[in-house]
């Protein structure tokens, strides 16, 4: 494209490319960057240096960040352990609990549409003799609490279920899950990275014992995250997974990433002040996008519950159109697809497959993740580009042609062996 300013809607212009992939990562908030900057420069001290000014300055910044994070999620400062991000937080929570409580039991419960950081951690524990139950999800993407009740036994030590899914944005009933765990004396960990900063999350009200947090999903920096570890009723203990200098009360050794932590703290503070208003605004933009697309195209399907969903997520399957070819047609817009062609494994999204959508619809899915910096003009531009491209690709699609001829595509004997 020769010019990067394209008429959006009426007299408003949009700047291309448009970023609408906020479940992958978010643009760092300039206010956050500004607060981090001194800690890359003159405030370079090690927060563990107890006997000079440089260390004190760094330590004070870290403790202020800890307070801001704790405040956002209703925790106390001593319950916040800094990590390198959500993957590490998930690993520490699950492996740390498994190792600490292995005498008590060896059973862990999770669910099919967790992030790989949880699923692959559980798979590793299976190799070490732990028993893992992977609960299915219902058509709307939520687990059935009765399935969870049935899965629990006297050997269950941990339930790990995400707060909000990264692909379909569906919110799990964590409060009910937490209550059930509390009642049964089982620990409850939740990967809350997608929910925090978008939907209120409170570790006490939501009955959470461990929660994973990350900076870069909330307009903060990459490479920094935290794990909430409850200190009372119950007091959760963990076996550290990284050994060394005994930082973070022995739960996570390693010199603290002070600039990152400052940024994470600032991102949490902004979220705390602005989440209520911002989520309303983003939900309105999301609904505007949904209505524009669904008003102009037939046979588009929303994946997952609309009722129990993040305000910024829209995951849609466009029947008869393959996801990667759609992405290629809207290449001035950054979104993601569940199509196999966009993944390294050549497998379509396991999340959409778990909903029972069918592989064909998984291949046809697009995930829109709206965020703080999106505008109405951008939404209108995206809707128009998507509608035009889907129409064009349907004209190119033999499946659309067959469906229009009245052929039932599920009854066709396809020539290819489904090898994947």
CB 296 within 8 A of CB 267: no
**Binding-site string for other proteins from residue 386 to residue 415, where x marks contact by CB under 8 A and - marks none:** ---------xxxxxxxx----x-x--xxxx
341 is catalytic: yes
- Pick the piece of the chain touching other proteins (CB under 8 A) from 98-106, 187-195, 206-214, 321-329: 321-329
Residue 52: CB atoms within 10 Å: 10
Out of 322, 333, 355, 369, the residue judged to bind other proteins by CB under 8 A: 322
Touching other proteins, residues 86-145 (CB under 8 A): none
Helix or strand holding residue 89 (H, E): helix 86-100
Intra-chain end-to-end CA distance of the chain, in Å: 36
Q: Which of 173, 348 has the CB closer to other proteins? A: 348
Q: What distances in angstroms separate CA 403 from CA 208, 225, 238, 318, 408, one per listed residue? A: 48, 48, 56, 14, 7
Phi-psi category of residue 417: left, alpha or beta, with phi > 0 → left and psi -120 to 50 → alpha: beta
Map residue 349 onto helix, strand or coil.
Answer: coil
C-beta of 137: minimal distance to other proteins in Å? 20
C-beta of 349: minimal distance to other proteins in Å? 11
C-beta of 298: minimal distance to other proteins in Å? 16
Residue 129: CB atoms within 10 Å: 9
Nearest to 259 by CA among 290, 296, 215, 292: 215
**Binding-site string for other proteins from residue 328 to residue 357, where x marks contact by CB under 8 A and - marks none:** xx---------xxx----x-x---------
CA distance 367 to 56: 44
Question: Is 358 near other proteins (CB under 8 A)?
Answer: yes
Question: Is 21 near other proteins (CB under 8 A)?
Answer: no
Out of 321, 355, 379, 386, the residue judged to bind other proteins by CB under 8 A: 321
Q: Which of 130, 400 has the CB closer to other proteins? A: 400
C-beta of 391: minimal distance to other proteins in Å? 13
The DSSP code sequence of 60-81 is: HHHHHHHHHHHHHHT--GGGEE
Question: Is 55 near other proteins (CB under 8 A)?
Answer: no
The active-site residue out of 122, 181, 268, 341 is: 341
Q: Whose structure tokens read 């569940």? A: 338
Binding residues for other proteins (CB under 8 A) = 320-322, 324-325, 328-329, 339-341, 346, 348, 358-360, 363, 395-402, 407, 409, 412-416, 418-420
Catalytic residues: 341
């Amino acid at each position: 494209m020769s010019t990067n300013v394209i008429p959006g809607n009426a007299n408003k212009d949009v700047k291309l490319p448009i970023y609408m992939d906020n479940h992958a990562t978010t643009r760092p908030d300039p206010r956050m960057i500004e607060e981090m900057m001194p800690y890359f420069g003159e405030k370079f001290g090690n927060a563990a240096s107890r006997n000079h000014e440089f260390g004190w300055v760094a330590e004070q910044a870290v403790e202020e960040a800890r307070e801001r994070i704790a405040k956002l999620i209703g925790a106390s400062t001593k319950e916040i352990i800094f990590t390198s991000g959500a993957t590490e937080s998930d690993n520490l929570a699950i492996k740390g609990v498994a190792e600490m409580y292995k005498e008590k039991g060896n059973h862990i419960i999770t669910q099919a549409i967790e992030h790989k950081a949880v699923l692959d951690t559980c798979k590793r524990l299976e190799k070490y003799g732990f028993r893992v139950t992977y609960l299915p999800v219902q058509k709307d993407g939520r687990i059935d609490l009765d399935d969870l009740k049935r899965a629990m036994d006297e050997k269950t030590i941990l339930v790990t279920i995400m707060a909000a899914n990264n692909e379909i944005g569906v919110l799990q009933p964590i409060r009910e899950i937490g209550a059930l765990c509390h009642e049964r004396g089982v620990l409850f960990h939740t990967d809350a990275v997608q929910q925090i900063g978008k939907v209120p999350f409170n570790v006490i009200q939501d009955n959470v014992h461990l929660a994973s947090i990350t900076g870069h999903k909330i307009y903060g920096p990459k490479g920094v995250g935290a794990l909430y570890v409850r200190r009372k009723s119950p007091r959760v203990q963990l076996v550290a997974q990284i050994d060394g200098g005994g930082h973070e009360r022995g739960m996570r050794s390693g010199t603290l990433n002070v600039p990152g932590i400052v940024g994470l703290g600032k991102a949490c503070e902004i979220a705390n002040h602005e989440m209520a208003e911002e989520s309303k605004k983003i939900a309105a933009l999301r609904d505007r996008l949904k209505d524009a697309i669904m008003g102009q195209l037939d046979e588009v399907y929303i994946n997952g519950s609309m009722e129990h969903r993040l305000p910024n997520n829209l995951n849609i399957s466009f029947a008869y159109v393959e996801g990667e070819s759609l992405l290629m047609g809207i290449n001035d817009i950054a979104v993601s697809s569940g199509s196999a062609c966009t993944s390294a494994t050549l497998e379509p999204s396991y999340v959409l497959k778990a909903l029972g959508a069918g592989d064909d619809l998984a291949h046809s899915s697009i995930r829109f993740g709206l965020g703080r910096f999106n505008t109405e003009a951008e939404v209108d531009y995206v809707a128009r580009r998507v509608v035009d491209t889907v129409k064009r690709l349907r004209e190119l699609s033999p499946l659309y042609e067959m469906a229009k001829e009245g052929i039932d595509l599920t009854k066709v004997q396809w020539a290819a062996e489904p090898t994947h």
